Amino acid sequence: MSETAITANLPLSEVQKAVTEAANVRIRSTATDTSEKFVASIKGSAMFQNNWDELLSAAPMAISLLGSCLVAASSSTSTTVTLTPPKGGFKYLSYKQLRPNMIQIVDTGRDCFRIADSNMDFIAQASGKMYDTLDDVVNDLSGTPQDAKDGLDIHMGILKQGALECKAKAIKIDVAFGNWLAYVNELHQVAEETMGDNDSKKAATDIDLKVQSILLDKSTAAEATSKKAVEVLVENVKVTRDAFKKASDEMPSGWDLVGMDLVSGLGNCLIGAANGMVQKITGNGSQQKGEGGTRADKSGSQKQTLPKYWDDPAYSQILAFSDPLSTLRAIAVGGPDGGVDWDSATLSGQGTSANGTLVFVQTMIKTAKSSFTSSGNPPSVEYQTLLDDGLALVSALMTVAEKKTALDWKAPDPKSERVKQWQTKASEIFNKASALSATAKTMPGVGGNPAPLLNQGNRGGTMPSGGSLAEKVLSTATTDLKESQAAMVATQDTYLKSSENLAKIQMSLGEIKGQLEKLKASSITLEQIRAILLKCIDVICDLKVQIGKLVQFFDALATMVTFATDYHVTPFLAYLDKIIAGLPQGPGINGFTFTDLQRQNVFSMTLFIRGYYSIFNSIALMYGKISKEWIMPGMSQVLELSKQTDDEDVLEKKRQSLNKFTSDAQDAIHNEVSAAQQKMLSGMESRLKAIANETKLLPPPPPGIAKAIEQGSSIVTSAAQAGIAAYKPASIAPTRLPRDD
């Protein structure tokens, strides 16, 4: 069923006013001073993927585990066990006796947290300083051409060096925890081989497989992934540049008003593709085995929060090419009496314009089709279908429009079946495009908002009071707002779901910690000691996975800066030479030149990088605060517990003191995490209210478009929330701690 135009539901006297307000909404939403909101939306949408809250919450249990290892080491039980070395001897263990190895676990663990404390401090400070450098990049871009030539290369180099230095610090933490995990794992394997039955030995083999997978050097695979991700991003850059040049050549006369919509779409395409690169390099898009897997392949895994086919090329390219499909719909439904706007359905332009709107739409859809390489998966198939349908509809309209010069030409009856079919198809095409676009904008890390523009184009001219141009302005504004709103609602709902899941994790951790605190040196059993080793492995696996992700992130960041330098900064500086020499700046759309596009791409990438820097700066700062207040003081208490004494009462008092400390730490960390969550949610709510206020100024989008956007956004929301619900960190796996008699 065809839908009426937005303008058809407004009094004629209100159309021009609504169009003016829509144009103002676009100007406000893409103003340079919205940069902080844009960065915050990127951070907010990706934060739940990179959230260390559950690991910070696990800190008290990690301290309790070290205390439990010391309790085990001080027991007479630990002195009765002599470990049998595997064939070829021990790889990591230093002793054949169980007792000194348990003490070594504690010493190694304390050293790991010391290394984490100092290196996370560096990461927090360095990532904070990167904000200043990113501001310098923005100033370079906002100044004169000479300012950009003098500063851009230098500041991009500083950004890359900062990312590499942070990566090196993260690797130090990663190596330390890897060595600790390897030591505990070997002790667990040997202990089970020495003391366990067949079932426990088989379980130990499964655990070893998990550990070896986590410890595996993935640098070669990561390099291949990074290279492939960059190739995809480079292809998208080429697509956006070619599309801009083609659009600037073919832009029909009188349609400059909506030209910046296409520019924004090209920017959205770049952000979506850049986010895809980060998701691939950081491993967020990796596929996990299903629920039928063993503990070895399920425990310690990352949240799998992206929808199936998340990296399909259709999701980035629809952002670049939905604009001509919007124009096609506007022409089909924006005419008088609810018909086609034949006055705007032109084949040739007026004045200096060589082509009309239909030729422009046809050219852009053909450009989209020729630049697209299908994956063969449903999103690609959907995208190809709507492009093919769009071309077929344009051809049908052109067949009628080319006869307009005939003296006896008469416009088809708006109520005719043929016109209704055209309108139904135009609405169907754009609805599908809106669904794909909404999915793309809701992806974690994209943020849902258009990138701020350094040059918003020419703002003069009289606003249309009707016709397809008015419909196009209103359609784009209302659709963009609805997509942004849907993305932000999805972000908020997903973050709330993540917070609820964290509360469950905290409760489970508290229960396990309570079990550990009941162990006593005078009665601890060998089975309980083996359970302690297994729980140590669980916790260290979680830590190792997240620290490895930190390494991957800074690797992705360095790759992103290198890409931005090679494919944006260098070409931009070459164009600046032409400007300084007084040469033409290349093709343009509504006062936005190709040089502006180059500059804008650097700016957009800078803001995108800042969004991700902000995530890990927050993580490092939070870790540093909790480390100073609770983790390191907890390690001091562990050290005190490790001091040898034959007085069981003194030992018990130290153990009780450590237990009280970890309980206090658990409460304090819970409060810190809750406060941080509320701050994040408050920011999300504020941005949602701002969009709601803008939405009130405009008429609503057609029901079909609104429904399509909600459906497209829900694809991401459903996948994210299902991934969060399924996520069970290894540290909360059930612990077998038999009753302490």
Q: Exposed (0-12), middle (13-18) or buried (19+): which is 534, by Cβ within 10 Å?
A: buried
How far is residue 427's CA from residue 2's CA, in Å, rounded to a whole number?
6
CA 281 to the chain's CA centroid:
12
Average pLDDT of the chain, as a whole number: 89
Residue 82 main-chain phi, psi, to 5 deg: -110, 125
Both tokens assigned to 266: 């090209």
Both tokens assigned to 501: 């899941």
Q: Which residue has the tokens 């949602």?
A: 688
Averaged pLDDT, 404-417: 92
Confidence category of residue 283, pLDDT binned at 50, 70, 90: confident
Closest-CA residue to 268 (of 47, 384, 391, 442) = 442
Residue 301 pLDDT greater than 70, yes or no? no
pLDDT of 354 reads 47
**Category of 434 on φ-ψ map: left (φ > 0), alpha (ψ -120 to 50) or beta:** alpha
pLDDT of 741 reads 44
Show me where the domains of the chain are located: 26-277+314-450+466-732
Predicted confidence (pLDDT) per residue in 599-658, tens digit: 999 999 999 999 998 988 888 999 999 999 999 999 999 999 988 777 778 888 998 999
Among the residue ranges 245-259, 277-291, 308-322, the one predicted with the least confidence is 277-291
How far is residue 392's CA from residue 395's CA, in Å, rounded to a whole number?
5
Averaged pLDDT, 305-327: 96
How far is residue 253's CA from residue 261's CA, in Å, rounded to a whole number?
16
Most confident of 18-27, 53-62, 732-741: 18-27
How far is residue 274's CA from residue 601's CA, in Å, rounded to a whole number?
11
pLDDT of 56 reads 82
Helix (H) or strand (E) holding 522: none
Residue 1 pLDDT greater than 80, yes or no? no
Residue 96 pLDDT greater than 70, yes or no? yes
Predicted confidence (pLDDT) per residue in 439-494, tens digit: 999 999 999 999 999 999 887 777 888 999 999 999 999 999 999 999 999 999 99
Angle (CA) 404 407 411, round 5° = 45
Angle (CA) 202 207 210, round 5° = 135
pLDDT of 223 reads 86
What is the value of pTM for the model shown? 0.92
Helix (H) or strand (E) holding 589: strand 588-589
pLDDT of 2 reads 54
Q: What is the DSSP letter of 190?
A: H
Both tokens assigned to 248: 């600037």
Predicted confidence (pLDDT) per residue in 665-718, tens digit: 999 998 988 898 899 999 999 999 999 999 999 999 999 999 999 999 999 999
pLDDT of 47 reads 87
Both tokens assigned to 121: 């401090």
pLDDT of 290 reads 36
pLDDT of 296 reads 36
Q: How many residues does the chain have?
A: 741
- Which residues lie across from 593 on neighbouring strands? 588
Secondary-structure breakdown of the chain: helix, strand, coil percentages, each rounded to the nearest 5 = 75, 0, 25
- The full DSSP string for 373-427 is ---SSHHHHHHHHHHHHHHHHHHHHHHHHTTTTSTT--PPPTTSHHHHHHHHHHH
